[in-house]
Amino acid sequence: MSQEGYALLVVDDNDDNRYTLTQRLKRQGYANVATARDGREALDVLRTRPFDLVLLDIMMPELNGYQVLAELKADERLRHIPVIMVSAVDELDSVIRCIELGAEDYLPKPFNPTLLRARVGACLEKKRLHDELAEWTRTLEQRVQEKVAEVERLGRLKRFFSPQLAELIVAGGADDPLKTHRREVTVVFLDLRGFTAFAETAEPEEVMGVLRDYHAGMGQLILEHEGTLERFTGDGMMIFFNDPVAVANPAERAIRMVVAMRDRVRQLSAAWRKRGHDLALGVGIAHGYATIGAIGFEGRWDYGAIGTVTNLAARLCGEAKGGQILVSSRVAGAVEELIDLQEVGTLTLKGFLKPVATFNVVGLKASA
């Protein structure tokens, strides 16, 4: 900041001293110099206008310089303003008392122009550095608050999406998915056939061990194929594709994921059977429009998808036998060149007035 940009306040009850000091400061380039005739007026002015430096006389009626200085340093809004004490009193005790009260420096009368320039310049430089540090601190605090909010939001989003996708959303690369919106999606439901009977007869530790293996295997494949995990309840999971960001061929992504899941569960089942557990994966897939967004209340939010497409995927999953991947005709039509299909026929599903044409995914074609 140039000298003209600083605001200075000269406080002195003597008209001649006040005028002399003001003129000397103006000759040194400080154009913005205000004055006060006593301590009370000085405090009133300081509380209504911003200043960068106060040159304060010690011996004044009503409120002397010591008292004014003490009030300044006790005021949170004014304590950062540097103060130079100016007085004919040159006793060492006065200098010490002023410094102890928080004064930056001390100038004796009569004024030495060179000393005045040096000490005023030093105090203003210190004030400039203080202001820059304060601004930097404010900016840092704001950035920290923004970062904390970002981390909290990222943590919420990672409950539903892959880490890469959550970071993309927070960075502004995708719309906020927690806002209610409508999107065409491919929905996948899956669960383990035989799990209910297994859970009713097995020890809780065995059940938790199976679920840990199952969740870890399925979770890895969901992340690899960039699916969105809507929820999981025990052995059941719901995943969808094409939300919160649009992807090419969501039905194909879903098919590739569930075929890999079926293979993974078959590997896990080999170990489970050795412990007497007969479990297999059943899958249902549908494609259509759903209403998606945050569902719940402050302090407990879940990410939900509502619509016929989710109901259809869930019903198909319920009809699937162990090892079957049942898909709707829309899904079958979207991926028929990718997979070998087996026509199941029409199924009468709860909640659907008309029978639903259904297909079983035998596997990926050799060329896929």
Q: How far is CA 131 from CA 47, 83, 307, in A?
A: 18, 15, 57
Q: How far is CA 276 from CA 272, 290, 334, in A?
A: 6, 40, 39
| Domain final residue, candidates 109, 136, 163 | 136
Does one domain contain both 47 and 118? yes
Residue 170 falls inside a structural domain = no
Q: Are 292 and 181 in contact (CB under 8 A)?
A: yes
Enumerate residues 6+ apart whose C-beta is below 8 A from 322.
193, 194, 279, 280, 281, 282
Does one domain contain both 182 and 328? yes
Provide the domain count of the chain.
2
Residue 56 scores a pLDDT above 90: yes
| Domain final residue, candidates 88, 118, 136 | 136
Does one domain contain both 320 and 250? yes
Residue 350 falls inside a structural domain = yes
CATH number, domain containing residue 306 = 3.30.70.1230
Q: How confident is the model at residue 297 (pLDDT cuts 50, 70, 90)?
A: confident
Indicate the angle between helix axes 113-158 and 15-27, nearest 10 degrees: 70
Q: Are 279 and 194 in contact (CB under 8 A)?
A: yes
pLDDT one-digit tens code per residue, 209-237: 999 999 999 999 998 998 888 778 889 99
pLDDT one-digit tens code per residue, 146-178: 777 777 776 766 665 556 556 666 666 556 666
Does one domain contain both 196 and 342? yes
Does one domain contain both 203 and 275? yes
Q: Which domain holds residue 275?
A: 176-364
